Amino acid sequence: MNNLTKVILNEDFDESSSSDDDIIMMQLFTAQQQILQRLSLNQQTKYVGSTSGHRYINHERVKGDKQIYRDYFVDNPVYPKEYFRRHFQMRQSLFVSILHDIQQMNEYFIQTRDATGAPGLSSVQKMTVALRILQYGIPADTIDE
C-alpha cells in the first residue's frame, strides 16, 4: 500500500501539499467509495439500462421473425407469392438463394444470441433490412423496426 492510499484511507488528506495526480486519484477513490456504499446499501441507482441513462426497449425480435415466416415462408402463407414479389422486388426463390449465399460469405447474417442470451435478429430480418437500405437509399438507423 503506497503513502497516498494510506492517507486516503485514514482520511488525512491535505490538497494544498499534494500534486495534481494525487488530487485526481483522491477524487477517483472517493467516487468509487460512493458507488460501493450505494451498492452495499442496496439503494436503487438512477440508471435503468446497461449503459448509464439508457433504457431497455423490447423490440419483439422473435415475434417479428415469426410474423415474417407466417406472412411469406410457411406452406400456407398469409400473403400469396405475388405479394412477396411486390414487397421484395424479386421471386421468393431468388431471395432464399441470396440469403443462403450471404450466410456462407458473411457471419453477420447468421442469427446469434445477444448479451442477455435472447435470440438476436434472424437471417431473414437482417436480409430484409439490408434490402430496404439498398432499395430506398436510406441510412441504416432509420430502419429500426
Query: What is the C-alpha separation between 54 and 41, in angstroms, rounded?
Result: 23
pLDDT of residue 98: 92
Q: What is the dihedral angle through the alpha carbons of 126, 129, 133, 138, rounded to the nearest 10 degrees?
A: -130
**Buried-exposed string 118-134: b where 16+ CB fall within 10 A, e elsewhere:** eeebbbbbbbbebbbee
pLDDT of residue 41: 54
pLDDT of residue 1: 47
Those residues of the chain that have pLDDT short of 50 are 1, 4-5, 8, 43, 47
